[in-house]
Chain A
């Protein structure tokens, strides 16, 4: 990973996680520039040695990826035949002159993007927005307290906020615009799609997402350490409402 950082000139490189395919697993790394909220560059590797850059996700990729179900195969050039899955999408693709297939690489890109958007979380106060609009790590962030760490409202989705504007004026008055510019986890649908656990007697708080099984977020209260990682099959848990 440090070599990646050097080659691609990222500000920092994170190990994002691992998507397990049937035949082999994809290891994903993310690299960030100075603005943390900018679209991230993602790289994947099958053996953690050779890394390939993934193109940013487009809306079509995301739409198509939702149609494809089942495990990843483990082979980036594998093609999912869309004709079987969704005749309409296939027809629209044929109309636009492309083949009605979806490559596994595209599905990978779309899945990572979906996971990051849906369940990529950070603790409150860890990032600040400067007046210029760019987002930086808050060097004054000293961690959440134990009480705060148990509450879902102390964690934010690290994506463009959707619900922020819907809050009442009363709630908005309490918010601090430099740190509270993101959506909190409280209003996630369905309720209860996060499992919060304190491990090791409260020294580590672990949040697990039930929507994307395998996404785990950890934070050590009163310190700056936090992070999330995904280890799983890369499939959304659509049965969630039945399982709660």
Chain B
């Protein structure tokens, strides 16, 4: 800054006790004039915002004296900004009211709808009382137990889900229902309910399936017709026959044992997820994608996933259920009539009426007290292995059949672990065990709950306490793998045509070889001529 010159405004300020204006304005009257000038300067309105400095300072001081915040000097600039902002806002007040209202209130309306009791419920209630087990799960009870473990949603959300499930039961004919869990997505989350429909309702599905197969049948005949025409002219048809699609398991068994309904938020309508096909499960094992929250979003991946996000979601649900749904050993037992057959394990299980729950401490200590009650999924994508080669009979062309039988690899019959295996036999990954157990609290062992966490599917939990148990999933929907995910490489390019002697290019003979050949030929000719001449002479 340096020494000020007399004509600069800062002159004289660095010397204490020196009033800058004294020199120039010794007269008190003139000082009043100077003060008035200063005030007039402060009152000068800014050309941009219509404010003037004097009023602004007055407002700031009023605000400070009113509110009396601590350490005012540190936040003085913010106060100044706020005052300016407040002025600005008042003018726009009338316009601003509308847009801010909708989202919160809409959501509140939807939640309110959950609380309204629907009319015509009385019949349903009567039916429910007759059945031994109420269809509606006690979500709040499960939420309480999970809360002991520190898992779960907050009470409000649990209650909304409870009400939403109740609505679902009223709308759909449901035999048993369970809150399966919540899968997080990028834009919206999914709340999933696992449901078993009543017997009669499943026929709809088979009707659709029937239509599906007839459509395929028509397509095949159509293709055959086209082929006949094309055999005469047209590019060569590829002899590649894709391996026959593995048929999906019928509803009510295996991977399709339960039907799943999802909704994005409690209050929104429930959507039924389509049954899962083995091809989808096989593909889902190879890809790892986040869910966006929109059921009809395409899943862009390699290998291309056959379906949209709803199918991917269903496939992941199936995998998670197969991998992590457990119950205390002995809670379920095989039915007395069924015996284990060779190819299939027993499919159904029922509750064991004589089940005595082991104490919580034991459930925590040993994994042998827990067992899977959902069948594992084989590599094929189904729970029950099926031989795809048998399906080749459906093909019309005989050539294909022969080819398939020759080329068809001997697909080994796959056997999965039988139902109700103990989870102590689950393999871990590297040195991480497949499951982690914990008691919810060490301080109050009488009331503690045994908690099971899956390490293979992070987010899958199970609890057991007394005779009660429950499984739940909160997470992103992906399996844990210690190595990073590598996408599948594209298959090697196929050979265009088999290389054989008729197509292979032979090396052209070099000039020397040609010359040698020519000489040899001429010699042979000459010899032949000589022989003929000799013969001619003989004659």
Contact A238 B482, beta carbon cutoff 8 Å: no
Contact A200 B484, beta carbon cutoff 8 Å: no
Chain A's closest residue to B109 (CB) is A201
Closest CB in chain A relative to B442 CB, distance in Å: 8
Q: Mark B182-194, 1 if CB is under 8 A from A, else 0.
A: 0011111100000
Closest CB in chain A relative to B447 CB, distance in Å: 18
Q: Mark B91-125, 1 if CB is under 8 A from A, else 0.
A: 00000000010011111100100000000000000
Contact A244 B432, beta carbon cutoff 8 Å: no
CB-defined contacts of B458 to chain A, threshold 8 Å: 233
Contact B432 A71, beta carbon cutoff 8 Å: yes
Contact A210 B79, beta carbon cutoff 8 Å: no
**Interface residues in A, total, Cβ within 8 A:** 33
Q: Could you tell me which residues of chain B, from 478 to 499, have a CB within 8 Å of some CB in chain A? A: 478, 480, 482, 484-485, 487
Q: Could you tell me which residues of chain B, from 271 to 320, have a CB within 8 Å of some CB in chain A? A: 287-290
With an 8 A cutoff between CB atoms, is B433 at the interface?
yes
Tell me, in angstroms, the Cα distance from A203 to B154 when the chains sit together. 15
With an 8 A cutoff between CB atoms, is A33 at the interface?
no
Contact A138 B78, beta carbon cutoff 8 Å: yes
Contact B107 A200, beta carbon cutoff 8 Å: yes
CB-defined contacts of A47 to chain B, threshold 8 Å: 442
Chain A's closest residue to B189 (CB) is A197
Contact A239 B485, beta carbon cutoff 8 Å: yes
Question: Interface residue tally of chain B, by bracket?
Answer: 35 or more
CB-defined contacts of B288 to chain A, threshold 8 Å: 239, 242-243
Give which listed residue, B106, B156, B455, B485, contacts A22 with CB less than 8 A: B455
What 9 pairs between A and B have smallest CB-CB spacing? A201-B107, A202-B103, A239-B485, A201-B104, A202-B104, A195-B186, A140-B78, A243-B290, A238-B484
Contact A242 B78, beta carbon cutoff 8 Å: no
Which stretch in B52-60, B69-77, B209-217 binds the other chain?
B69-77
Contact B74 A130, beta carbon cutoff 8 Å: yes
Contact B485 A242, beta carbon cutoff 8 Å: yes
Tell me, in angstroms, the Cα distance from A234 to B95 when the chains sit together. 48
CB-defined contacts of B188 to chain A, threshold 8 Å: 197
Tell me, in angstroms, the Cα distance from A238 to B486 when the chains sit together. 11
CB-defined contacts of A198 to chain B, threshold 8 Å: 103
Give which listed residue, B77, B103, B436, B438, contacts A201 with CB less than 8 A: B103
CB-defined contacts of A178 to chain B, threshold 8 Å: 77
Contact B82 A140, beta carbon cutoff 8 Å: yes
Q: Could you tell me which residues of chain B, from 325 to 354, have a CB within 8 Å of some CB in chain A? A: none
With A70-B482, A130-B74, A140-B79 as given contacts, are A201 and B184 in contact (CB-CB < 8 Å)?
A: no
Q: Mark B219-248, 1 if CB is under 8 A from A, else 0.
A: 000000000000000000000000000000
20 A-B interface contacts by CB (under 8 A): A22-B433, A70-B430, A71-B432, A128-B78, A130-B74, A145-B100, A178-B77, A192-B186, A195-B185, A197-B188, A201-B105, A202-B107, A203-B104, A208-B184, A210-B290, A233-B480, A239-B288, A242-B289, A243-B288, A243-B290
With an 8 A cutoff between CB atoms, is B476 at the interface?
yes
Contact A195 B187, beta carbon cutoff 8 Å: yes
Chain B's closest residue to A47 (CB) is B442
With A140-B82, A202-B107, A233-B458 as given contacts, are A213 and B476 in contact (CB-CB < 8 Å)?
A: yes
Chain B's closest residue to A145 (CB) is B100
Task: Identify 17 new A-B residue pairs, CB closer than 8 A, beyond the known A139-B75, A242-B288, A244-B289.
Answer: A20-B453, A22-B436, A130-B74, A140-B75, A145-B100, A146-B100, A192-B186, A200-B156, A201-B105, A203-B104, A210-B290, A213-B476, A233-B480, A239-B288, A242-B287, A242-B485, A242-B487
CB-defined contacts of A130 to chain B, threshold 8 Å: 74
With an 8 A cutoff between CB atoms, is A6 at the interface?
no
Tell me, in angstroms, the Cα distance from A20 to B461 when the chains sit together. 13
